[in-house]
Amino acid sequence: MLRGRSLSVTSLSGLPQWQVEELPVEELLLFEVAWEVTNKVGGIYTVIQTKAKTTADEWGDNYFLIGPYFEHNMKTQVEQCEPVNDAVRRAVDAMNKHGCQVHFGRWLIEGSPYVVLFDIGYSAWNLDRWKGDLWEACSVGIPYHDREANDMLIFGSLTAWFLKEVTDHVDGKHVIAQFHEWQAGIGLILSRARKLPIATIFTTHATLLGRYLCAANIDFYNHLDKFNIDKEAGERQIYHRYCMERASVHCAHVFTTVSEITAIEAEHMLKRKPDVVTPNGLNVKKFSAVHEFQNLHAMYKARIQDFVRGHFYGHLDFDLEKTLFLFIAGRYEFSNKGADIFLESLSRLNFLLRMHKSEVTVVVFFIMPAKTNNFNVETLKGQAVRKQLWDIAHSVKEKFGKKLYDALLRGEIPDMYNILDRDDITIMKRAIFSTQRQSLPPVTTHNMIDDSTDPILSTIRRIGLFNNRTDRVKVILHPEFLSSTSPLLPMDYEEFVRGCHLGVFPSYYEPWGYTPAECTVMGIPSVTTNLSGFGCFMQEHVADPTAYGIYIVDRRFRSPDDSCNQLTQFLYGFCKQSRRQRIIQRNRTERLSDLLDWRYLGRYYQHARHLTLSRAFPDKFHVELTSPPTTEGFKYPRPSSVPPSPSGSQASSPQSSDVEDEVEDERYDEEEEAERDRLNIKSPFSLSRVPHGKKKLHGEYKN
Amino acid sequence: MTDQAFVTLTTNDAYAKGTLVLGSSLKQHWTTRRLVMLDTLQVSDSMRSVLETVFDEVIMVDVFDSGNFAHLTLMKRPELGVMLAKLHYTLVLANTDDLFEREELSAAPDPGWPDCFNSVVIYQPSVETYNQLLSLASEQGSFYGGDQGILNTFFSSWVTADIRKHLPFIYNLSWISIYLYFPAFKVFGASAKVVCFLGRNIFTISILPLLQQYGLVKYTCSYVNVENVSGAISHLSIGEIPAVGQPVHSEDWKEWWEQGQADYVEADSFDNLKRKLDTYLQ
């Protein structure tokens, strides 16, 4: 889909003209080192892959990614070619001559950046010698049993060797090398130990200890300064990895991390305050039709409704037009992802909805992969029953239609009592009979292994949400990745998200949060927390995030019970919105997507590069101290058409919005709102740009 | 009892520290048998003096050229009667004199490969057995760790012949097992008699004063008594130890890391590593 958006719709034409000085890229070389270059393991692959275009646009042929070679990845993602750059070519040749296998080519993604890939296994014969090198450099040894860490040692040694060859032949150009995560860190440590003339950046996307400690049900954030981190790492048998991480942090000229909250975590877990926060972006693709995303929502929502019809057969006493679809998705980390607090708040939400005799029904999907033994029979049966009913209705309709047609041709109005004959009635009665179900709709779609110990199921049993007819909150645990070829719910993840109304991610530990970011980009509101990187980011950049469909739960400064109540209030408020209000909210959410685009967020990386050059080569480069873009982005003020408090359940238009069409024109004026946003954007970096029109006072930005 | 002895061996000063722990702990639990140390030329004189304060006899032995079969020399000392051998890096937590009631060849299974034995072995010295072992060594060599491989190959019937010659696990408790099977440790750990350790934390605590006295270390720090050490182990926590001065990181030291036994409490604490990094960061 092409990009082509009218300026009036985006507020981000008023993006702060953040004057990061352009770097003289022709006189520089940029290397970005990560284990996940062409090698998908986790989220870092997504970061690097989506960022490549922005960086390649800026750096052209002077940008190289360094990663591990795997035959499969090479075959499917890389187009082999010869290096054009002299220094790089000589480095590759030198290493290949000395018993390595270094592959070079273009990564077949947007931006087509060059990649340098090392065959780790091929160079493993050097392991002993390189262990000695590492020991000499930083007195860290790697246990025999940790295969992964030993691989990282080989990777780092090859990287350092490569960078030495490059800097030996680089002929006046300066080199920047950015290393992602502890896996790439050895390259940094060795480069510094050998005093290579490189400006280094180390970026961490999460700390080793942070994730472990959070998962151990410790009150992590309130005890950050009290941990004996050496001991914690030692006791968990990851001391060597922790040392690699810390040494990398210590040796880097510039240290960055992905969010404010991770910066705080890093300050205590790694004992260094990050110099720059470099949030993770996405490649936002816009449709040529501006509200196409709303149409897609309607389309995919219908598919989810189909699934629900099947799943709840025999108990479909609720109106699907008044049913909201909520979901949570991600790795199965029960407390880190906030599934625990979510379930508790669903129980309270159910109570509230029942108490107020609400007509709204909420169906909540938990998409968290776990060990399963295939689909359970009940759910499959549900879909089969639904399909069967559809077929019967369809065939009866065909017969009926024919008779009607014949009657009309004869010039008669058909006799309504005879139009359906006995056979039809029997078929329909039998069909209805088959939808009788004694058991309740199951809370899970698959047979789970260890279902007695499964945390989600155990909590569901405890709070008693069993998809009873009287419950207004229904729960479905889908413990597998979504797939468009699934017999149960044939949608892929993106389609499913678009079809839902709200994504809920009340995480306790989430260094960035691609899941809520993806929702936002697709125009779906989401719930996040102030312990999530994404949540912190939104809090800083948007004056009234709730109006824009970003609900931020305070899990940092409140007790768990209070946080749970706040989440419940958010959900309840969301449920009380009219359809019209939801549509307007989605429009606003979608407008935030430019904020998450690499075209904006890439500037933080630019700043980090500038900063490291000024530290490594202070004679040649300096950076203005006034331009660090800490968290002063710009603030979206409160949109004017939003009612002052979320409790307002009155429709924004006098008539009821129950049967409103999606495409009816909205009450608020798009042009007007966009103009207001633009006028009120603060621009901290370019002092020359003076906004005209009325300016909101600073205090009005905060809510 | 003069015809029975606990015997251990050390081939250099580093190993000697571990044997000191063993010796101290045996005395701590009122053994009535003799304590014998076999040492070699590589052990320094000052270390030997320390050893002599703990062990009843310190005997110099020859080590073969291969350097691997030192422990076989134990076989050459029939006048010592029945003895325990090669308690390598072990600490005794309770009186273990009852081991002498067992026959040759009783031994503790190796936690890593229980069909082989290691660490605690009871046998009777005999020149005949010794010669047989030597010829086996020259024919076949050792599949692992010098004498451990030889002994296992020679006494190959040990694994199936008689369960009474298999010492219970409490005579060879390893740290790893405590981690891996903690519930068992909770139930049976109190009756542990011998624990095998590879980390340096423990001997640092228990024999540091001795080493200080003889000028073998220059650390100036407080220390914990051996009694506290035994108690601490059974509660799985040693407690805080104040930082020591700059340790020397030799090649041997790297071995500790590679066995997953870095001393994160003191010698390998990150602050120490940081100092090294700072030497080349400007």
- What confidence score (pLDDT) does residue A522 get? 95
Cβ of A230 within 8 Å of Cβ of B272? The answer is no
Residue B222 forms part of a structural domain: no
- What confidence score (pLDDT) does residue A60 get? 94
User: pLDDT 10s digit of each residue in chain B, 282 long?
Assistant: 567 788 887 777 767 777 777 888 788 788 888 888 888 887 888 888 888 888 888 888 765 544 444 455 555 555 555 555 455 667 777 788 888 888 878 888 887 788 888 778 887 777 788 788 878 877 776 676 556 778 888 888 888 988 988 988 888 877 556 656 767 877 777 787 887 765 444 444 444 444 455 444 443 332 233 333 333 333 332 333 333 333 445 667 888 888 888 888 888 889 989 998 998 886
What's the mean per-residue pLDDT of chain A? 87
The answer on B262 and B165 residing in a single domain is no
- What confidence score (pLDDT) does residue A1 get? 31
The answer on B265 and B170 residing in a single domain is no
The answer on B88 and B157 residing in a single domain is yes
The answer on B265 and B148 residing in a single domain is no
- What confidence score (pLDDT) does residue B224 get? 31
**DSSP secondary structure letter of residue B85:** E
Facing residue for B264 by CB, picked from A143, A231, A250: A231
Lowest mean pLDDT among A307-321, A656-670, B110-124: A656-670
Q: Which of B212, B234, B265 is the last residue of a domain?
A: B212
Query: Whole domain around residue B271: which residue ranges?
Result: 248-281
- What confidence score (pLDDT) does residue A607 get? 94
Residue B230 forms part of a structural domain: no
The answer on B28 and B86 residing in a single domain is yes
Q: What number is the average pLDDT over the span A464-478?
A: 96
Query: How many angstroms separate the CA of residue A224 from the nearest CA in chain B?
Result: 18
Residue B41 forms part of a structural domain: yes
The answer on B266 and B134 residing in a single domain is no
The answer on B274 and B162 residing in a single domain is no
The answer on B148 and B35 residing in a single domain is yes
| Contact (CB, 8 A) for A229 and A267 | no
Tell me how far CA of residue A608 lies from CA of A199, A343, A441, A618, A630, in angstroms.
10, 40, 53, 15, 11
Residue among A159, A161, A152, A171 nearest A64 (CA): A159
Rounded CA separation A154/A602 (Å)? 30
Q: How many domains does chain B have?
A: 2
Rounded CA separation A186/A181 (Å)? 10
| Contact (CB, 8 A) for A29 and A55 | no
- What confidence score (pLDDT) does residue A685 get? 35
Most A CBs within 10 Å, among B257, B278, B282, to test the A interface: B257
Q: Residue A195's closest chain B neighbor by CA?
A: B280
Residue B231 forms part of a structural domain: no
| Contact (CB, 8 A) for A575 and A360 | yes
Rounded CA separation A539/A544 (Å)? 8
- What confidence score (pLDDT) does residue A22 get? 81
- What confidence score (pLDDT) does residue A111 get? 94
Contacts 24+ apart (CB under 8 A), A657-660: A657/A578, A657/A579, A657/A580, A657/A581, A658/A321, A658/A322, A658/A579, A660/A579, A660/A580
Interface of A with B (CB under 8 A): 131-132, 135, 138-145, 189, 192-193, 195, 229-231, 233-234, 237, 239-240, 242-243, 246-247, 250-251
Q: Kind of pairing, strands A550-553 and A526-529?
A: parallel
Most B CBs within 10 Å, among A229, A230, A269, to test the B interface: A230
- What confidence score (pLDDT) does residue B88 get? 60
Q: Residue A131's closest chain B neighbor by CA?
A: B254
Residue among B196, B15, B137 nearest B38 (CA): B15
Cβ of B258 within 8 Å of Cβ of A143? The answer is yes
B46 and chain A in contact, CB less than 8 A:
no
Residue B258 forms part of a structural domain: yes
Say which CATH number the domain at B103 has: 3.90.550.10
Lowest mean pLDDT among A505-514, A569-578, A694-703, B100-109: A694-703
The answer on B265 and B198 residing in a single domain is no
- What confidence score (pLDDT) does residue A445 get? 95
Residue B239 forms part of a structural domain: no
3-state SS record for A364-376: EEEECCCCEEEEC
Residue among A45, A58, A105 nearest A78 (CA): A105
SS3 category, A530: coil
pLDDT digits (tens, 9 = 90+) for A345-361: 999 999 999 999 999 99
Q: Which of B184, B212, B240 is the last residue of a domain?
A: B212
Rounded CA separation A107/B118 (Å)? 54
Residue B219 forms part of a structural domain: no
Rounded CA separation A687/A624 (Å)? 14
Taking only residues 239 to 258 of chain B, the set having a beta carbon closer than 8 angstroms to any beta carbon of chain A reads 249, 251, 253-258
Q: Which residues pair with B36 in a beta bridge?
A: B7, B57
Residue B24 forms part of a structural domain: yes
Rounded CA separation A524/A301 (Å)? 12
The answer on B117 and B198 residing in a single domain is yes
Facing residue for A234 by CB, picked from B264, B272, B281: B264
Facing residue for B277 by CB, picked from A138, A144, A242: A138
The answer on B155 and B257 residing in a single domain is no
The answer on B95 and B207 residing in a single domain is yes
Q: Which of B212, B238, B271 is the last residue of a domain?
A: B212
Q: Which residues of A touch B259 (CB under 8 A)?
A: 143-144
Rounded CA separation B142/B68 (Å)? 9
Asked if pLDDT for residue A39 goes beyond 90, the answer is yes
- What confidence score (pLDDT) does residue A507 get? 96
* Residue pairs between chains A and B whose CB atoms are closer than 8 Å: 71
